[in-house]
Amino acid sequence: MFASQSALVIENARLYRDEQRARSDLEALVDTVPVGVLVFESQTGIPTYVNRETRRISSKLASPEFTPEEVLRILTIRRAGSEDDAFKELPLTTMLRDAEMVRAEEIVISVPDGESVTTLVNATPIRSQDGEVESYVVTLQDMTPLQEVERLKAEFLGTVSHELRAPLSSIKGSAATLAGSWASLDPAELDLFFRIIEQEADRMSSLITDLLDVARIEAGSLSISPVPSEVAVLIDEARGTFRTSGGGNDFRIELPSDLPPVMADRRRIVQVMINLLSNAARYLINVNYSCRFSANYFCRSDSLSV
């Protein structure tokens, strides 16, 4: 009898230990997920669990000495895109009162000093076996990174629209001049307008290629074909293309004599250097300047950086 009781005690201890281990593993998992998780007590609405991401979000709203529980008491919540809602009408409060589920509600959380963060809220009531609501689990996803991506996309599209408009205007103007004054133009003038049309069409083609590359990068399907390339040759090609497209002529090239070949996608790395030159020239209009090419190398894990 004593042996059977001892075996029962040992088995209970093992089950308790396993349960505690599983609980610890679950808490560690929830604490490290990149989504804020809060658990509220059903009767009082007091948070009984707050994970690491929730603490990070709350730190964006108030100074570090405020705990997430204290931040909850001073925050204001409203639906994204609307004016301040009355607190009693908020999804979280409604859920606590009426045991309702909330799915993918975009909520702006702010504090009196004006700091705010947009989150995507999901909330689920947890019920006991007899159907009574015991607690609520709320998840918060910080939308700030996604908003920044959308802002950058809008900025990029605005830049591209502006860049496309310039060559298109040149092509249209040259074509209109040729159509209206063909007979009165001498061969040199005709050649000039045709070259303008050709160069600006190439410029538009390059911009469209860049757009397609951006789409491929976002889709994770951008193909890179690195081949051994001489740095001096790459720089000279970029310089020549920049000159023929109307860039400046004042260049200085400073390269170590012992630079080894690099593995590079020739077309893409040349385009990167052309873009750098174009950006430099754009911000140095009406200023005497010189562009200096220099390169150095270092080896790390059998890789070469230039």
Share of the chain above pLDDT 70, in %: 75
Position with higher pLDDT, 1 vs 144: 144
Predicted confidence at residue 301, as pLDDT, reads: 43
Flag the least confident range among 32-46, 172-186, 286-300. Answer: 286-300
Higher pLDDT, residue 92 or 41? 41
Q: What is the pLDDT of residue 79?
A: 73
Domain assignment of residue 13, yes or no: no
Ranked by mean pLDDT, the top range of 18-22, 95-99, 125-129, 240-244 is: 125-129
Tell whether the model's pLDDT for residue 120 goes beyond 60. yes
Report the CATH number that the domain containing residue 301 is assigned in CATH. 3.30.565.10
| 212, amino acid identity | L
Q: Are residues 162 and 106 in the same domain?
A: no
pLDDT of residue 12: 66
Q: Is residue 5 part of a domain?
A: no
Is 103 part of any domain?
yes
Contacts of 262 (CB under 8 A, 6+ apart): 228, 229, 231, 297, 304, 306
Confidence of residue 8 (pLDDT cuts 50, 70, 90): low
Q: Tell me which of 170 and 85 has the higher pLDDT.
A: 170
* Between 281 and 201, residue with greater pLDDT: 201
More confident residue, 296 or 46: 46
Q: Is residue 25 in some structural domain?
A: no
Same domain, 204 and 301: no
Per the structure, the count of domains in the chain is: 3
Q: Is residue 11 part of a domain?
A: no
Alpha-carbon gap, residue 31 to 131, rounded angstroms = 28
Say what the pLDDT of residue 209 is: 82
CATH number assigned to the domain comprising residue 84 = 3.30.450.20
208 and 243 fall within a common domain: no
Q: What is the pLDDT of residue 293?
A: 63
More confident residue, 116 or 7: 116
Confidence category of residue 289, pLDDT binned at 50, 70, 90: low
Q: Which of 232, 228, 292 is nearest to 257 (CA)?
A: 232
Predicted model pTM: 0.52
Rg (alpha carbons) of the chain, rounded to whole number: 32
Q: How confident is the model at residue 87 (pLDDT cuts 50, 70, 90)?
A: very low
pLDDT the model gives residue 251:
64
Picking from 196, 219, 242, the residue at the C-terminal end of a domain is 219
Q: Are residues 96 and 199 in the same domain?
A: no
Mean of pLDDT values over 63-91? 64
Helices 144-181 and 187-219 cross at an angle (nearest 10°) of 160
* 154 and 238 share one domain: no
3-state secondary structure the chain: CHHHHHHHHHHHHHHHHHHHHHHHHHHHHHHHCCCEEEEEECCCCCEEEECHHHHHHHHHHCCCCCCHHHHHHHCEEEECCCCCCCHHHCHHHHHHHHCCCEEEEEEEEECCCCCEEEEEEEEEEEECCCCCEEEEEEEEEECHHHHHHHHHHHHHHHHHHHHHHHHHHHHHHHHHHHHHHHHHCCHHHHHHHHHHHHHHHHHHHHHHHHHHHHHHHHHCCCCCCCEEECHHHHHHHHHHHHHHCCCCCCEEEECCCCCCCEEECHHHHHHHHHHHHHHHHHCCCCCCCCEEEECCCEEECCEEEC
What distances in angstroms separate CA 149 from CA 154, 160, 297, one per listed residue? 9, 16, 33
Residues 34 and 69 in one domain: yes
Least confident segment among 33-47, 102-116, 218-232 = 102-116
Q: Is the pLDDT of residue 9 over 70?
A: no
- Same domain, yes or no: 161 and 68: no
Residues 211 and 233 in one domain: no
Last residue of a domain, one of 89, 115, 142: 142
For the cut 70, the answer to whether the pLDDT of residue 206 exceeds it is: yes
48 and 138: one domain?
yes
Q: What average pLDDT does the segment 129-146 reach?
A: 86
Look at residue 9 and tell me if it is in a domain. no
Q: Does one domain contain both 109 and 184? A: no
The pLDDT assigned to 295 comes to 64
**C-alpha dist (Å) from residue 193 to 165, 176, 186, 200, 299:** 18, 10, 11, 11, 49
Judgement on whether residues 210 and 120 belong to the same structural domain of the protein: no
Q: Which domain holds residue 234?
A: 227-305
Residue 259: pLDDT band with limits 50, 70, 90: confident
Cα 211 to Cα 219: distance, rounded to the nearest angstrom: 13
Looking at the structure, do residues 113 and 185 belong to the same domain, yes or no? no
> What per-residue confidence (pLDDT) applies to 66?
73
Residue 95 located in a structural domain: yes
Indicate which CATH number applies to the domain containing 184: 1.10.287.130
The residue among 142, 157, 192 that closes a domain is 142
16 within some domain: no
Q: Which two tokens stand for residue 40?
A: 């509220």
